[in-house]
């Protein structure tokens, strides 16, 4: 029987379209239809049209076929990589502008009209002069009229109390808020320390008013779940209020200690033991640290370096012997790193110990910069320097914010430690620090009771009356944790350890500490209890949206005019106070990612501080494939789903069920939306970007000599370096391709300050004005010199934050918003991808079963299990 | 007028090359520069891009020597040694023996601005020419190779000089890939921290290539390491000059 010709030709047409070569084979039809549509493999071969190619380059769209990427780049998130390349592309001017105009013009219109109008309301004066005058008054009063100062202080306190507790109706509160907002905007323009303080006070006024109002008028709740949940929310808010207050106190006046010069004669310089503890890190990681330590400027007979190998590896012993450093092992691994260090203390005798985690490479000036304070202040027992990471941490890598947005740790090392230092409450952070042996032995060595032995050790030293110091000069650098899960793991350890100290050696109890030391320690610990409050904030509006519970007993308008000043003013004050070290709204993102994971460990540690054991953060690994860490983001996806449903229900409430109170619904919807944004940002962190280099390249510009095979020597600058190779930036007029080609043998010479060091290398990449070099097999001596010429340079980390944009609260908000959107786009992409994958595999099964004689029941059960 | 003599105790260490390079560098910075060749080899002209010069310092009598000068494209005034007959050269040497201040006097009668710099390329020491250059100079820059011979010479010089203020050591032709050179540089830097320039001139094929092309190294290979080093020495000289002026 033959088919009618029309059908036949139609079939043939489709077969041709689908590239079915044998129209009689059902297998091929199915294959083409479901598994490998012919258009898929051919798409990448299709070159994009010139316009599209240019546009995608300009916008930073990597895969031009991906619609969501276009949406993302066009509307929300201009790629920063693209921005730097933008001047190279010769796109018709104004094209991109015309494309995005609707969006940008809207924003500009708002800014152009509202911005100047608002700033016209703020008095214009010579702000620096005004600030200087303020300062002078304050000084005159403080020095010449101490009595007046006290009277003023008491009056101010009274006024503050009255102002923060007086009940007002909504109009009065509105006027009051507008007034202090206006005041803050004015103060914000004044430079200097005193205005920062004033901003903090204004912000506290708004926050105290808020908390007082919450406590006195909004807690009159219906008994039952809404009472319980309402108090829970209020407790969480009290926690944030307390942390805000303590945070202001802690960073009231950062000490910004400067290094003290050492005596000129070497004879007064003390002996130092350098401890490099290691457990399971590869030898590759520790080599650089050891070499850099050997290059530290210190009298050789007074400097001893030890590898403390808890892994007891033969390879490490051999290495230590070859390079000439000490090697210490112990029979057990009790108390992990703390135990390791304590064991080494018994085997060594130096007056001081300098401790470096095995991946923290010190600069040559470390000891000379840090040791001065110990000689000046005999009571000083510990000096900490910042931890700096030259590779992006998971946040920076996955969000593409490296060198643009201060990372999570920077607030601590940039500001909080300096603030602690004023109150003599600097704490030890486990690495990049110097400790005086005497006091350390007096407190029984490094503390072993908790998993954060470092902070606890400093606490014990402070309790004994010793002082601790912080020197905010980066004198060592290391690799950041590689993956998000490792990063979270590390933070979990810190959180648990801090909770343990809180239980076992609470800084508010016991003797030996000043009031402010207690405050500083407590705040640092309190910080790690942010998990539960954060989860409460992320779910609180759902109580209303889902169940219609009122957990704040008041009208929406009141919440708005009390809460907004509290939020806005604390953002303004924090942006001023810590903007250089933490951009606005990023704290929310960092905290939210950790919230879920630190909640349980901190709670458990609070209940039973002896539960659980120490874990080491893996370093030097590599994320080989771009992937989405589903496991980590699961709780957040759940929260997103809950919030998403909440928004759906909320819209229903707005239109039908609760149409009589639209304000409340809208407020809860807005809050949920904000939560969704933060959650989206948290989720986008979980999308691990691929890492390609094994040796992290550090961008740095130092002069170098490039010697070519023909005897020519060129004066060039490095672009970046790693322990495996070097990138050179050639001057414009020299073309790299004419100079050398891949495989050429060259020498490159770096100056160590006192000595020139030449390294044999091979060209691996020559392109325009860049030359990529890979070092040949280096001898131990050469490898040591290389470390000392690069990571160990005294100036290696100076200006590490140069060129980073300043914080602007609205800009921070915009950025967090776009990250949130990106998170959703990523989820959407992954879901689509896994759906298509699943569909394909289902189809493949069908095809296989068609061709094989298996029974149909067997087939369907398999398909179902796949689904 | 700041007079700098370039001397050495070994031959072929780059006196002429460095004199030419420094005068070009200073001329390009807009300084008045007078380069004088006081070496019977009469090679400085070649290095400055002017060839075959028979008239010069040695062939002119009295104060007519400035009439033999040339002006290079870098704005350097240059007086060649000239190509005197053997008798004339011999007489000049006798004259120098009688009066080591021969060159100083000629220079002192010169109408040359205070901020101008005179560079004298002389024959290797010990020689009458070298002594005459040293005698005239405010600063004698001793060139050496990063090898034991030159370092030994530096050592003798620094011991033999009453004051270290008017001498300086400069290593030329340093190849950092060679252990010996690296060690010599390290030693020189540490042994004479004030007398020895902390940055040497590196070995660079571009130096000879530029000469072969009859170009200044600053034109021939702007980014050559040797060009960079020469610039550095030129800047150092200017600083030194302003310090002595004060
Ligand atoms: N930095 C350098 N790199 C490479 N070659 C050099 C360098 N300095 C000098 N030379 C070469 O060394 C040789 C001797 O230099 P020259 O200036 O004539 O020495 P001198 O005047 O001391 O006898 C010349 O061929 C010159 O090109
Ligand atoms: Mg010569």
Q: What is the tens place of the pLDDT at every residue in A806-841?
A: 888 888 888 888 888 888 887 787 778 778 887 877
- Residue A580: per-residue pLDDT: 85
Structural domain tally of chain B? Answer: 1
Blockwise average pLDDT, block size 10, chain B, 246 residues: 93 94 95 93 90 78 80 90 88 88 88 91 90 92 94 92 89 94 92 92 95 92 94 95 80
pLDDT > 90 in chain A, percent: 42
Residue A603's CB is within 10 A of a number of other CB atoms, namely 15
Question: Does A625 touch chain B if contact means CB atoms closer than 8 Å?
Answer: no
Q: Per-residue confidence at A59, pLDDT binned at 50, 70, 90?
A: low
At residue A296, the 3 state secondary structure works out as: coil
Name the one residue in this structure whose structure tokens are 């800009």: A811
Angstrom distance (rounded) from CA A430 to CA A337 = 9
Instruction: Evaluate if residue A287 carries a pLDDT over 90.
Output: yes
pLDDT per residue as tens digits for the range A423-478: 999 989 999 999 999 999 999 999 998 888 999 999 999 999 999 999 999 999 98
Instruction: Evaluate if residue A860 carries a pLDDT over 70.
Output: no
- Residue A115: per-residue pLDDT: 65
**Residue A99's Cα: distance from chain center in Å?**
33
Supply the range of the domain harboring residue B133: 2-245
- Residue A63: per-residue pLDDT: 63
More confident residue, A673 or A18: A673
A223-229: average pLDDT: 88
Angstrom distance (rounded) from CA B55 to CA A459 = 85
Q: Per-residue confidence at A690, pLDDT binned at 50, 70, 90?
A: low
Instruction: Evaluate if residue A717 carries a pLDDT over 80.
Output: yes
Question: Does B119 touch chain A if contact means CB atoms closer than 8 Å?
Answer: no
Could you tell me the two tokens for A539? 């779910």
Q: What secondary structure, in 3-state letters, does A804-859 show?
A: CCCCCHHHHHHHHHHHHHHHHHHHHHHHHHHHHHHHHHHHHHHHHHHHCCCCHHHH
The dihedral sign for the CA sequence A674, A676, A679, A684: negative
CA-nearest residue to B227 within chain A is A715
- Residue B11: per-residue pLDDT: 87
What is the CATH code of the structural domain delimited by A701-789?
A: 2.40.10.220
**CATH at B114:** 3.40.50.300
- Residue A857: per-residue pLDDT: 42
Instruction: Evaluate if residue A732 carries a pLDDT over 60.
Output: yes
Instruction: Evaluate if residue A780 carries a pLDDT over 50.
Output: yes
The superfamily CATH assigns to domain A268-481 is Spore Coat Polysaccharide Biosynthesis Protein SpsA; Chain A (3.90.550.10)
Instruction: Evaluate if residue A630 carries a pLDDT over 70.
Output: no
Of B177, B182, B205, nearest to A712 by CB-CB distance is B205
A365-394: average pLDDT: 93
| Catalytic center residues of A | 310, 454
Pocket test for ligand 1, best of B14, B19, B204 (most atoms within 8 A of CB): B14
Angstrom distance (rounded) from CA A534 to CA A536 = 5
- Residue A617: per-residue pLDDT: 43
CA-nearest of A751, A745, A824 to A788 is A751
Sequence spans of domains, chain A: 5-120, 127-250+530-610+624-688, 268-481, 701-789
Q: Cis peptide before A397, with omega less than 30 degrees from 0? A: no
Instruction: Evaluate if residue A854 carries a pLDDT over 80.
Output: no
Question: Which chain B residues are within 8 Å of A711, Cβ to Cβ?
Answer: 203-205
> A87: which DSSP letter?
G
CA-nearest residue to A747 within chain B is B177
Burial of A389 (0-12, 13-18, 19+ CB in 10 A): buried
Give the residues surrounding ligand 1 with Cβ less than 6 Å away: B 8, 11-17, 172-173, 201, 203-204, 207-208, 211, 226
More confident residue, A52 or A755: A755
Q: Per-residue confidence at A88, pLDDT binned at 50, 70, 90?
A: very low
pTM surpassing 0.90? no
Which residues touch A222 (CB under 8 Å, ≥6 apart)?
Answer: A550
B68 neighbors B146 (Cβ within 8 angstroms): no
The Cα diameter of chain B in Å comes to: 51
pLDDT > 70 in chain A, percent: 84
- Residue A835: per-residue pLDDT: 82
Instruction: Evaluate if residue A104 carries a pLDDT over 80.
Output: no
- Residue A58: per-residue pLDDT: 61
A266-275: average pLDDT: 94
């Amino acid at each position: 029987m033959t088919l009618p010709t029309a059908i036949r030709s139609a079939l043939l047409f489709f077969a041709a379209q689908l590239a079915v070569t044998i129209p009689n084979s059902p297998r091929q039809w199915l294959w083409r239809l479901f598994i490998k549509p012919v258009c898929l493999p051919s798409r990448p071969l299709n070159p994009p049209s010139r316009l599209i190619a240019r546009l995608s380059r300009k916008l930073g769209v990597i895969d031009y076929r991906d619609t969501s990427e276009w949406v993302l780049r066009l509307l929300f998130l201009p790629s920063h990589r693209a921005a730097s390349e933008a001047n190279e592309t010769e796109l018709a001017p104004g094209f991109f502008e015309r494309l995005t105009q609707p969006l940008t013009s809207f924003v500009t219109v708002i800014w152009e009209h509202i911005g100047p109008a608002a700033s016209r309301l703020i008095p214009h004066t010579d702000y620096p002069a005004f600030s200087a005058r303020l300062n002078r008054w304050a000084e005159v009063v403080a020095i010449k009229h101490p009595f007046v100062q006290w009277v003023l202080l008491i009056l101010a306190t009274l006024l503050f109390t009255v102002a923060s507790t007086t009940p007002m109706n909504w109009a009065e509160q509105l006027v009051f808020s507008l007034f202090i907002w206006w005041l803050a905007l004015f103060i914000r323009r004044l430079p200097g320390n005193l205005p920062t303080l004033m901003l903090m006070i204004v912000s506290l006024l708004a926050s105290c008013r808020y908390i007082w109002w919450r406590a006195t008028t909004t807690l009159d709740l219906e008994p039952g779940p809404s009472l319980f949940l309402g108090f829970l929310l209020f407790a969480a808010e009290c926690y944030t209020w307390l942390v805000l207050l303590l945070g202001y106190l802690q960073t009231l006046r950062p000490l910004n200690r400067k290094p003290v010069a050492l005596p000129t004669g070497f004879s007064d310089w003390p002996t130092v033991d350098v401890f490099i503890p290691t457990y399971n890190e590869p030898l590759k990681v520790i080599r650089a640290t050891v070499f850099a330590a050997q290059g530290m400027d210190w009298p050789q007979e007074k400097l001893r370096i030890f590898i403390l190998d808890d892994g007891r590896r033969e390879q490490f012993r051999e290495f230590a012997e070859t390079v000439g450093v000490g090697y210490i092992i112990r029979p057990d691994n009790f108390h992990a790193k703390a135990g390791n260090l304590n064991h080494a203390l018994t085997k060594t005798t130096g007056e001081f110990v300098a401790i470096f985690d095995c991946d923290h490479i010190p600069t040559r000036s470390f000891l000379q910069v840090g040791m001065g304070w110990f000689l000046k202040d005999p009571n000083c027992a510990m000096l900490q320097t910042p931890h700096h990471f030259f590779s992006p941490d998971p946040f920076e890598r996955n969000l593409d914010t490296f060198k643009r947005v201060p990372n999570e740790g920077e607030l601590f090392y940039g500001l909080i430690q300096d603030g602690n230092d004023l109150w003599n409450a600097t704490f030890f952070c486990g690495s990049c620090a110097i400790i005086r042996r005497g006091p350390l032995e007096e407190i029984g060595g490094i503390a072993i009771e908790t998993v954060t032995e470092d902070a606890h050790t400093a606490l014990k030293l402070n309790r004994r009356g010793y002082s601790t110091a912080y020197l905010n000069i980066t004198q060592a650098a290391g690799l950041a944790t590689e993956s998000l899960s490792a990063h979270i793991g590390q933070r979990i350890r810190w959180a648990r350890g801090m909770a343990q100290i809180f239980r076992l050696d609470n800084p508010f109890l016991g003797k030996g500490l000043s009031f402010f030391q207690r405050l500083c320690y407590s705040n640092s610990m309190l910080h790690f209890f942010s998990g539960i409050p954060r989860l409460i904030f992320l779910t609180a509006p759902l109580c209303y949206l889902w169940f219609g519970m009122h957990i704040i007993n008041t009208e929406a308008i009141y919440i708005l005019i009390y809460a907004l000043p509290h939020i806005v003013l604390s953002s303004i004050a924090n942006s001023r106070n810590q903007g250089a070290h933490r951009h606005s709204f990023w704290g929310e993102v960092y905290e939210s990612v950790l919230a879920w994971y630190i909640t349980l460990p901190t709670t458990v540690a609070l209940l039973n501080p002896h539960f659980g054991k120490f874990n080491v953060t893996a370093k030097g690994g590599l994320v080989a494939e771009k992937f989405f860490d589903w496991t980590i983001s699961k709780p957040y996806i759940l929260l997103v789903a809950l919030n998403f449903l909440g928004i759906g229900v909320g819209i229903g409430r707005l239109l039908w069920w609760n149409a009589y109170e639209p304000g409340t619904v809208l407020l809860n919807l807005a809050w949920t939306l904000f939560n969704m944004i933060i959650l989206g940002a948290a989720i986008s962190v979980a999308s691990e970007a691929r890492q390609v280099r094994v040796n992290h390249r550090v961008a740095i510009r130092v002069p170098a000599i490039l010697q070519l095979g023909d005897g020519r020597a060129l004066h060039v600058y490095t672009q970046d370096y790693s322990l495996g190779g070097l990138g050179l930036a050639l001057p414009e007029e020299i073309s790299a391709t004419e100079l050398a080609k891949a495989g050429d043998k060259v020498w490159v010479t770096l100056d160590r300050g006192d000595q020139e060091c030449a390294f044999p290398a091979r060209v691996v990449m020559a392109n325009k004005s860049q030359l990529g070099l890979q070092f040949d097999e280096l001898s131990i001596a050469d490898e040591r010199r290389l470390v000392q010429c690069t990571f160990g340079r005294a100036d290696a980390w100076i200006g590490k934050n140069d060129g980073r944009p300043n914080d602007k609260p609205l800009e921070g908000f915009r950025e967090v918003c776009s990250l949130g959107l990106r998170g959703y786009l990523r989820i959407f992409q992954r879901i689509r991808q896994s759906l298509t994958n699943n569909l394909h595999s289902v189809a493949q099964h069908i095809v296989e079963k068609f061709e094989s004689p298996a029974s149909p029941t067997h087939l369907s059960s398999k398909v179902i299990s796949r689904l | 007028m700041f007079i700098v003599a370039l001397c050495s105790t070994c031959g072929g260490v780059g006196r002429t090359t460095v004199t030419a390079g420094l005068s070009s560098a200073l001329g390009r910075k807009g300084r008045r520069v007078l380069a004088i060749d006081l070496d019977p080899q009469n090679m400085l002209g070649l290095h400055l891009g002017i060839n075959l010069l028979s008239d010069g310092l040695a062939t002119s009598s009295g104060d007519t020597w400035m009439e033999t000068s040339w002006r290079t494209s870098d704005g350097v005034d240059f007086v060649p040694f000239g190509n005197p007959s053997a008798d004339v050269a011999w007489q000049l040497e006798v004259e120098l023996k009688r009066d080591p201040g021969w060159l100083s006097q000629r220079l002192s009668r010169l109408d040359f601005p205070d901020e101008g710099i005179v560079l004298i390329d002389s024959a290797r020491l010990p020689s009458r020419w070298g002594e005459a250059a040293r005698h005239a100079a405010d600063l004698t820059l001793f060139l050496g190779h990063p090898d034991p011979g030159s370092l030994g010479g530096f050592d003798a010089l620094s011991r033999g000089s009453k004051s270290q203020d008017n001498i300086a050591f400069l290593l030329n032709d340093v190849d950092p890939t060679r252990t010996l050179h690296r060690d010599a540089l390290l030693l020189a830097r540490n042994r004479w921290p004030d007398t020895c320039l902390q940055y040497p001139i590196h070995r660079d094929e571009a130096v000879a290539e530029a000469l072969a092309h009859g170009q200044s190294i600053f034109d021939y290979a702007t980014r050559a390491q040797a060009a960079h080093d020469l610039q550095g020495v030129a800047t150092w000289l200017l600083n030194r000059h302003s310090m002595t002026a004060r």
